[in-house]
Structure 1
Amino acid sequence: MFEFLDYKFMQLALAAAVFTGLAAPAIGTFLVQRRLALLGDGLGHVALTGVALGMLTGIAPVITAVIVASIGAVVIELLRMYARTSADVALAMLFYGGIAGGILLADLADESAANLNTYLFGSITTVSNTDLAVVAVLGIVVIALSVGLSPQLFAVCQDEEHARVSGVPVRVYSILIAILAAVTITVAMRTVGLLLVSALMVVPVAASQQLTRSFRTTHFGAMGIGLVAAVGGVVASYEIDTQPGPTIVILALAIFAVAALVGTVMRRSRSRRRRVDYA
């Protein structure tokens, strides 16, 4: 039944899926709360430029992707704060600039489209011990900061003005959220790919929101759903011979559909009980 565990590549893939499944929704919860659900897509395109830069310079693409995506995250926050640029316009610039820069640098590096596809759509079954070590370290950092600083990050996402009046360093935490999102993109790019990573950051959160009533339970619920989707998607892709990245996302969407149905039933049940109590 669990013969796939006999293979080294599946052991590494499942371990990477655990860190990705937990880290992506951990920071994605704050992005959804802040109405920046598409930030993952924008940073994913910027990370593509980082990957291509790594190919051009001979530096490990994971390292250059982290650096370039983090710079992009800081830039979009600064634009939002000081340049009177709306979030959607800033994200659009990330989309266009990131994908254009990635393709241009890949051409200069004389890299084939197949090499870029490894990062665009994920290639979790080719994860090496070194890749896993990087994913584990970065994933633990994202999870630890997201959970440990949850009250402060929530305050910034919920109401910046109130947080500022309360003495919370809003700019620092805003930039931290953006950088953690950039790091998460890098963590997940070998799992679900840069084009799909935003789904793993957002869909588990949306599913958790259907079933929970507080931010804290939503946060941890999203991490649990992300873990199930990532690990389950890797196993399912092995069993039915499909690409892991799209399989993980489809499974996450299926969980959302079930959660939405269950959540609707729960809300109607609570509404009926309130009417009976009132009567």
Structure 2
Amino acid sequence: MDLLTYDFMQRALLAAVLVGITAPAVGIYLVQRRQAIMGDGIGHVALTGVALGFLTGTNPVWTAVLVSSLGAVLMELIRWYGKARGDLALAMLFYGGMAGGVLLINLSPNGSNASLTSYLFGSITTVSRSDVVAISVLAAFVVLITLGLRRQLFAVCQDEEFARVTGLPVRLLNLLLAVTAAVTVTVAMRVVGLLLVSALMVVPVAAAQQATRSFAMTLAFAIGIGVVVSLSGTVGSFYVNVPPGASIVILAIAVFGVITALAAPMAKKRARRAAAAGEECTLEVPPGVAATGDDVKV
């Protein structure tokens, strides 16, 4: 393939694989907690971190990690203590992050609106060697947390009260998940873009849920979908000359539609088979005999 002769495409494809793995690996927990929109909020906050990197002359990936992690922790604190006003505080945090990023990028001598756009929607030509190193280190952290602590995170996301009773450090795990989500956003921003990364965290998981039943199978299938659409979207953007983030998200939505269309008839067949099996197992009581627990023993 001629695209592999370009160094920037080799870096972009490597970054796409890492994004395809990490985004669904974190997204499955966010979907389970019904916080699918959290990635979008973190992306808004991370924009300030990107602009801060341009302003200070440092790698925007690392400043985005710092700012988005602080924003994610603040979101968790608001979720705990915000109560009725929590949604308003989160809205101000999201909008403030976006406004802060636009303001700082215009004050920076090293940045421009064009460079900011590449972070918003992704750009395969701007993935540098230092970006690949940073993305690889951060992706390793995300995989270590999401897979190494999958049982604990699953328990917390499924039922916080039950997890607390069993002795799990619920608040610490919630904070760790929030920081991991923030790291995932910064991993994906060079390929997918800050405004579209939330879709890659959610859509592959939603697609996998249509065809699987267990948590482990859903996680594996979602990661598989994430890698395929990330690679396909990146390659497609090279030939069609469109932002890779848009291509990846459109492909993910298309996969979701196909899997949903195929899974619906299969689910109906399983339901009919289960109903038929239930009818066959129904105990027939002879006429004149009362169907009570004393009369019938199994």
Fold match, TM over 0.5? yes
> Where does structure 1 differ by over 3 angstroms across 4 or more consecutive aligned residues?
85-91
CA–CA distance in structure 1, aligned partners of residues 106 and 2 of structure 2: 41
Give the counterpart letter for 2:103 in structure 1.
Answer: L
Give the percent of matched residue pairs that are identical in Structure 1 and Structure 2.
58
Once the two structures are superposed, residues 177-200 of structure 1 have per-residue CA deviations (whole angstroms, 9 ceiling, x without a partner) of 100000001000001100001011
Q: Is residue 68 from structure 1 mapped to residue 67 from structure 2 by the alignment?
A: yes
Farther-moved stretch of structure 1 (226-235 vs 238-247): 238-247
Q: Where does residue 222 of structure 1 map in the other structure?
A: 222
Return the alpha-carbon distance in structure 2 between the equivalents of residues 61 and 250 of structure 1.
Answer: 27
The 1-side partners of 2:162 and 2:83 are apart by: 20
How far is the alpha carbon of 1:82 from its aligned partner?
2.5
Instruction: Tell me how far 1:86 sits from its aligned partner.
Output: 6.2
**Superposition pairs for residues 1-279 of structure 1, below 5 Å?**
2-84=1-83, 88-110=87-109, 111-277=111-277, 278-279=279-280
**For residues 162-191 of structure 1, what are the alpha-carbon distances to aligned partners after superposition, in whole Å with 9 as ceiling and x for unaligned?**
100110000000000100000001000001
Q: What's the TM-score once normalised by structure 1's chain length?
A: 0.95
88 and 217 in structure 1: CA distance in 2 versus 1, 3 angstrom threshold: farther
Secondary structure of 2:34's counterpart equals: coil
Q: CA contact under 8 A between 1:16 and 1:124: conserved in structure 2?
A: no
RMSD: 1.4
Alpha-carbon distance between aligned partners in 1 of 2:72 and 2:175, rounded to the nearest angstrom: 7
Aligned to 2:285: none
Greater Cα shift, 107-116 or 30-39: 107-116
- Which stretch has the larger CA shift, 207-216 or 190-199? 207-216
C-alpha separation in 2, matches of 1:138 and 1:106: 24
Does the 8 Å contact 1:142/1:180 carry over to 2?
yes
For the 8 Å contact 2:78–2:90, the answer to whether it is kept is no
Deviations 1:24-63 (A, max 9, x none): 0100110110111000010000000001111112221111
Question: How many residues are aligned here?
Answer: 278
Structure 1 stretches lacking a partner, 5+ long: none
